[in-house]
A and B are shown apart, each in its own frame.
Chain A
């Protein structure tokens, strides 16, 4: 009995060492997270008579956190506008300078159905144009108009990002309202995202 145990122990050791040998080639698993109530307040605009303004809320996929860094961000939100840290400024007020090489695309499907960024055509922000198009039924949301005036993320629109570091992430916006409750305040993003921490790897699985 004792012999057997020793054998087992030895075997395990071998197995363990084998797997630790593989560590250098096995990718780190993708990271799936949900971000709730990312505040993206726009000031001014329709009905107020004041010019549109407000600071973009920047988000970094690597840390999975909101950031105020001028450089270490991938995507930024203000009102219904979504900026990427790649390309040039679009010309709207108070937007952050683009100093990375991030890019974005809108693809159609379920969140789980988008398994890779391999065949995605990315674009970057440019003069007057966001990579993620603005406007109702044009990019990620639909504006219901009167009487509800609701902003609803269009079902089946998945945002795919190439981060400033060359990683890939996919995002599904779930809600534009605080606590995902359309009776509460708007300009609060809740989204799911999957981030592949392995640089250059396009898979989301």
Chain B
């Protein structure tokens, strides 16, 4: 609590200080900084500051100075974005309180696949060769279709500009024998350009709980390779080709009770991306794009004593997506963008009867115009026709009104959806130790009949008819309203958000088994909302000292449960007496893994004379709960799975010498904060990195 007030004070202080400087600076000539360009928000180049949507950009410079090497680390340092690890250690992002399942991850505008139980592990991505990371908050299905409910994260790679061979090679070593090696080369020779990138990342892992057998994180090593080619056939045609490979090998052995298991898990991902840019005229451009990706994960565990294979799982997903999009620029600079595409998605995995596939066709259009000089409007919509669920129509409208030269108001509303995934439709899994069964919705009836025929079913608790209508896509409507203030030395941005979700897919019991366990299947039921505000301020004290502070306030609740609580229908146990008590509204904490407060404070200092820079980033996350512990299916103050609020501090310092060499030293988690319930956060991690740039 103390820390929360501290953060509030700092924030308020900052706003006040900035307020004063604003008065002084008000007559100075307009902004002379480089304007940051965003691609993700509109699929055309737009200035960050002119956009009507909440967008965060993380530049290569910030990534390098911060000493981050994986995407999860740098995302975690952005306001309103946190990473949440699931049971298998996959780190997914949460934006505006919306879980990883509902956030689309792109590289150069094309989607990455390979989610485990909906969670996309952003730890998979190295940040060694990226130009910038763009995060668009709020539903973006009007351009990107499924999964873009909470927002879109797009990783933009760098295009070579210079005809001199340039690049860098670096080696970093840190605590837990964490090693990161990068080689990045790029060059442009007249019409031809190329970029080659390789990364190796490895660690011995770590153990947060030495009392228990096995490590928290087992040793692993992974490699990322990326090759890109650029060729301009003429002024009108240019080609982009990109191939990427990611592969990871991790020891998966562990000891449970007295049994020790050994084995390993392997992940492999391929991406192939071809794009032809066709410039018909100054007004009309078309992009022809073809994309293919494959994500493959294997894990095998054997009993070390007997050699018996205990578990063997496979996950093999393919996605193929051709798309054509065209942008017409009108005389008044309004832009009309339209696209059509086709997507083929295929998954073969353990616990599926057979390989399953989806296909969908889609079309979208977007009009970006200034109705009057001060008012920018973006209106767009997309239609998705899908083989497995109802067609989706996803509209979006965004407005930005320039109140003065430095102040603008923004508002947007959009629809987002997420198609039921393969697991929710085709899973057929029985836990061998405990005996419960989980069935995908589309196979539930058939499998239930099989179980019944085998005499495993005591009774079916839902009517058969409730398993016949197709599962609906999960959907949300998101609202964002904000103000943006931008002066020469400082800027501040306030955004209020609300996301209303419906038809969320969760499991429910459909039958009881004779062994006392249940059969679960998926169905649409939850309606939740997340709402709050986000405040970001940046202040440049001098040309060399930058301060920034960010804060997110979040309320995330299940509407139905909120109602039940209000009606006094939810109970908990008094920990003293074990007797039932009624849970009051103020005791209903909200959804799991959601913190009411998130804040960050950063200082970046360039010491020009010494060719050095140093920075400190403080991140605060308030208390949150991991799971229900008292059987009432929601998080209340009586639950015991709360993780108390905590601060992590990251610090990094770099110095360039002999022109081409940069030495960086740093410490992540300087305060050495650890908690058994946060397996992805080891104690203090020290590192040193040597970079050679040419």
Asked if A pairs with B, the answer is yes
B586 within 8 A of A: no
A-side interface residues, number (CB < 8 Å):
31
**What separation, in Å, do the CA atoms of A180 and B571 have in the docked complex?**
19
Contact with B along A104-144 (1 / 0, CB 8 A): 00001111000000000000000010000011111001101
A152-B631 in contact (CB<8A): yes
When the two chains form the complex, which single residue of A80, A111, A135, A154 contacts B631, counting CB atoms closer than 8 Å?
A154
B216 within 8 A of A: no
Complex: chain A residue closest to B436, CB-CB: A145
The interface-forming segment of B76-84, B298-306, B575-583 is: B575-583
A186 contact set on B, CB distance < 8 A: none
B275 within 8 A of A: no
Complex: chain B residue closest to A148, CB-CB: B629
B569 within 8 A of A: yes
A175-B578 in contact (CB<8A): yes
When the two chains form the complex, which single residue of A47, A138, A141 contacts B512, counting CB atoms closer than 8 Å?
A138
B632 within 8 A of A: yes
B434 contact set on A, CB distance < 8 A: 46, 145-146
In the complex, chain B residues 571-612 whose Cβ is within 8 Å of any chain A Cβ: 571-573, 577-582
A192 within 8 A of B: yes
B435 within 8 A of A: yes
Which of A110, A128, A134 has the largest count of B CB atoms less than 10 A from its CB?
A110
A155 within 8 A of B: yes
Contact with A along B181-212 (1 / 0, CB 8 A): 00000000000000000000000000000000
A145-B434, A152-B631 given; A135·B579 CB < 8 A: no
In the complex, chain A residues 70-129 whose Cβ is within 8 Å of any chain B Cβ: 80, 108-111, 128
Complex: chain B residue closest to A52, CB-CB: B516
State the Cβ distance, B219 to closest chain A Cβ, in Å: 23
**What separation, in Å, do the CA atoms of A137 and B628 have in the docked complex?**
13
State the Cβ distance, B492 to closest chain A Cβ, in Å: 46
**What separation, in Å, do the CA atoms of A153 and B572 have in the docked complex?**
10
B436 contact set on A, CB distance < 8 A: 145
B433 within 8 A of A: yes
A111-B518 in contact (CB<8A): no
Contact with B along A147-166 (1 / 0, CB 8 A): 00000111111100000000
When the two chains form the complex, which single residue of A80, A110, A137, A152 contacts B582, counting CB atoms closer than 8 Å?
A110
A172 within 8 A of B: yes
B518-A136 in contact (CB<8A): yes
**What separation, in Å, do the CA atoms of A85 and B138 have in the docked complex?**
59
Complex: chain A residue closest to B461, CB-CB: A138
A134-B516, A155-B631 given; A110·B571 CB < 8 A: yes
A190 within 8 A of B: yes
A154-B518 in contact (CB<8A): no
A155-B509 in contact (CB<8A): no
Contact with A along B297-318 (1 / 0, CB 8 A): 0000000000000000000000
A111 contact set on B, CB distance < 8 A: 579-580
A-side interface residues toward B, CB under 8 Å?
Answer: 46-47, 80, 108-111, 128, 134-138, 141-142, 144-146, 152-158, 172, 174-175, 180, 190, 192
A–B Cβ pairs within 8 angstroms, 6 of them: A109-B571, A110-B571, A145-B436, A152-B630, A154-B631, A180-B578
B-side interface residues toward A, CB under 8 Å?
Answer: 433-436, 458, 509, 512, 515-518, 569-573, 577-582, 629-632
CB-CB nearest 8 A-B residue pairs? A156-B571, A142-B631, A174-B578, A155-B571, A152-B631, A155-B580, A154-B631, A110-B580
Given contacts A108-B571, A135-B518, A154-B631, 17 further A-B contacts (CB under 8 A): A46-B435, A110-B571, A136-B517, A137-B509, A137-B518, A138-B512, A144-B629, A145-B434, A152-B630, A154-B571, A154-B632, A155-B571, A155-B580, A155-B631, A156-B580, A174-B573, A175-B578
